[in-house]
Amino acid sequence: MSRLNANLLLLLTAVIWGSSFIAQKLGGQHVSTLTFTASRFLLGALVVLPLAWREMRRMGFPRHHLPGMVLIGVMLFCGSSMQQMGVSHTSVTNAGFITGLYVPLVPVIGFLALRQRVHPVIWPAAALCLAGTWLLSGGGGLDFSSGDLWVLGSSVFWACQVILVGRMAVRSGAPMVMAFVQFAVSGLIAGLLCLTEAQPFAGASDALPEIAYVGILSVGLAFTLQSVTQQFTPAADAAVILSGETVFSAVGGVLVMGDRLDGVKLTGCAAILAAMLMVQLVPGLASSLLRRRSRVSG
């Protein structure tokens, strides 16, 4: 897969994730955070199981990579459950904005913890993305509610998940197995914890459409696309492209939830789009210029 095709599929992932904030908001009105999280990831695991089984039959089960895959599942559970808790107590637009804060965290955590080097364009692109998400929030100070704080905490785990998926996707060479394991681990942790609640399945029938949408599309399709495409795109690049979910969540908030986008918020959307284009185009243009200069000097 070319880097361009991988980035386009990551953009599709961002579209699905952005639209899923609406389903999370609506589904959270009927069931608890843990029930919703367990349902969506166990359903996603079932969706991807045939592909994972086929991959295991072809190349075997990558047992020595299992601990890393389980760790990704733990990060996924922490990020998704905290985000779900927050979405239930804040607006779709705010949730999308605050989740987008994981973008500048990815290169920072990757450099500090793993000494990962990134293309220089990532730093201004991440800063532009951060500025865009701030403008998308209205360009003023956010009045942080408890929901906003939950989503803010989730952004740290999302950053770790993106970094770990990038490393494990390249090392294991088994993206479908990795996707299945992380979904199953996240779903099982949430499922076991939700059994401690008084009525864990109360309202589940009312939330079935939202659970199906998020489980099949957001988890089964989008997270699997992430697992596949991050073999071909660095984690920092992927984070900037995936930040497009902030824009799509805002658009969904306008169309479905009645949120409003004024000139400032539209400027924020444009800034995030510019950041994504920088990540996609600048490295290629720089490499092309270097090759031309080497040919001329040669």
The highest-confidence range among 114-123, 212-221, 248-257, by mean pLDDT, is 212-221
The residue with greater pLDDT, 158 or 92, is 158
Tokens of 153: 């905490």
Share of the chain above pLDDT 70, in %: 90
Domain boundaries, the chain: 3-297
pLDDT band per the 50, 70, 90 thresholds, residue 155? confident
Rounded CA-CA distance 91/257 in Å is 9
Cβ atoms within 10 Å, residue 50: 11
State pLDDT tens for residues 91-112.
777 777 777 777 777 877 887 7
Q: What is the pLDDT of residue 139?
A: 66
Under the banding of pLDDT at 50, 70 and 90, the label for residue 43 is very high
Tokens of 35: 């029930």
Sign of CA dihedral 133, 139, 142, 147: negative
Matching residue, tokens 């100070």: 141
Lowest mean pLDDT among 76-85, 125-134, 176-185: 125-134
